Structure 1
């Protein structure tokens, strides 16, 4: 995902984020089996697995199932995912198709048609209350709290000093990072894959999906994630992998994709990323048990470089 410089430091290598895992990235074999994922729940602010063994397996895998707390009402978000793309202004959420990045001065935000089957509507937290309906914004805020609980639980297992957590996570340890609430629709009329294989760029993603299609690459093969209506799928991203890979408790980012869809498919996700608000860039850091924190790149550089590779491919060695 990065390469060493002459001084031994590490930097983002755009176009080659997945160079070390190119075999996984280009693996087009079908899923061979159903994925058996570890399960956890939240007891207040504590993340609880059945045992330390299952917890460690989840961190090594980079993905687990999290029981949805009874306090979260995500009905509106499910409905938003089924309506945002329609352009039907007679529906409560149908007009969001017409809100794109031009409105926000940022091509990352708003409605997007991707080159895969997926189309999306995405907003950063600072815009939620102004753009999303109150019931959707409230769900996003609740997910931000959950994400912080999970992140702090993982950081406790590393040797990263608590005083460094806020800097190390670009504010996510204190619920002051950048958070994107994203709604997805997969268009069955289009050919090709639902969503290309990739890792998410942030620290973690909390995904709500009720339809088959999500697949993870684990143990040198693709496995199909079986939807569980009672659980979120939580997966760790590149920012977490970069931060912890040389710590006492490395955490993996899982390679995943969405297979070709023959029927409409809907989902929504909450992404926790290092603060990347204009004028307040926190950056991506790596931690070394001997040397402490090191700045790798800006948050937006990682987001943009990852997006390019997801939709346009990874360059092989020697490519220009």
Structure 2
């Protein structure tokens, strides 16, 4: 008889994870995160201990590859919300009414964050060519990291494609997001949450990101030449019963007193018709469906909780 495929306790719905009215526990220290680098398309850590810490914590730092120039994306993050004549300032006018998805385009949330988000199918038509190129480079990078995580977990390559919603083959669903934190608002930067997909690659050059490891909040140092790599709930569910499970990291952004910008790349399941849902891998039984698509959306989706984007706590206040 198969064991229960209920998601593990760590994979709680956003509605349970997120407690927007609770006084937040302050971050008491700076997180000592391990750092990796890419080498000929492979993710490399300094030691097996570092590798284990990175995947079991669900968060680590990564040297930005030399061939990935993030300068244009940094500039986009600094300008998209302005609504002025700057190179990327006009993107503030591009809202969800231009798309078939209420989450896309420019949005403002109750937290300090305002955001511009596009799914991969719109990158070529709506992002400038230099931004679309960065998105594609980050998609290739995400594929390499997802494969490294599946290898660590002990999942056989024969089921990677289906188990990862095609992210192991760079054929998943991808979003490129740009974020601005409005210091003038008396609110948290971004409420605590776990991302719902497999992997997030985050670029930030200012302090504010905080992670929760071992029930303690810690600050993450912002470094110019590093990405922050976060694993999400889909990866946690997929690997929960593996010999070496990969965790989804709970994280947030503290209240900002100066304007802060960042950008990120999300890797999620493509939900192709035959594979709608979320899978878990059991060494004895192989790949098993953990949640069907409707249940997954209800339990973990960004859309389920008031159409908020990956925080689970903030309604849309787009002007």
Q: Deviations over 1:213-251 (max 9, x none)?
A: 000011221110011111100010111001101112100
**Against the structure 1 CA distance between its residues 34 and 85, is the aligned structure 2 distance closer, same or farther, given a 3 Å change threshold?**
same
Q: CA deviation at 1:253?
A: 0.6
Q: Deviations over 1:121-168 (max 9, x none)?
A: 001111101000000000000001111111111111233221110000
Number of the residue aligned with 1:57: 53
Are residues 1:285 and 2:286 paired?
A: no
Number of the residue aligned with 1:310: 311
Q: Secondary structure at the match of 2:145?
A: helix
Q: CA deviation at 1:24?
A: 12
Number of the residue aligned with 2:64: 68
* 1:223-242 matches, cutoff 5 A: 223-242=218-237
Number of the residue aligned with 1:249: 244
Gaps of 5+ in 2: 315-319
- Within the candidate set 74, 79, 82, 2:78 is matched to 82
Q: Secondary structure at the match of 2:152?
A: coil
Q: CA deviation at 1:19?
A: 7.4
Q: CA deviation at 1:294?
A: 2.2
- Structure 2 Cα separation of the partners of residues 290 and 24 of structure 1: 40
Gaps of 5+ in 1: 1-6, 314-320
- Structure 2 Cα separation of the partners of residues 226 and 25 of structure 1: 27
Q: Deviations over 1:264-289 (max 9, x none)?
A: 00000001100148x78743211222
Are residues 1:146 and 2:147 paired?
A: no
Q: Secondary structure at the match of 1:95?
A: helix
State the number of aligned residues: 304
- Structure 2 Cα separation of the partners of residues 8 and 155 of structure 1: 22
- Structure 1 Cα separation of the partners of residues 131 and 278 of structure 2: 29
Contact 1:81 1:268 in 2 (8 A): yes
Q: CA deviation at 1:8?
A: 3.5
- Structure 2 Cα separation of the partners of residues 281 and 126 of structure 1: 20
Q: CA deviation at 1:21?
A: 5.9
- Structure 2 Cα separation of the partners of residues 208 and 25 of structure 1: 28
Number of the residue aligned with 1:192: 187
**Against the structure 1 CA distance between its residues 32 and 246, is the aligned structure 2 distance closer, same or farther, given a 3 Å change threshold?**
same
- What TM-score do you get using the length of structure 2 for normalisation? 0.88
Contact 1:25 1:198 in 2 (8 A): no
Are residues 1:275 and 2:270 paired?
A: yes
Number of the residue aligned with 2:317: none
Q: Deviations over 1:75-94 (max 9, x none)?
A: 11001001111111x11211
Are residues 1:209 and 2:204 paired?
A: yes
- Structure 1 Cα separation of the partners of residues 89 and 275 of structure 2: 33
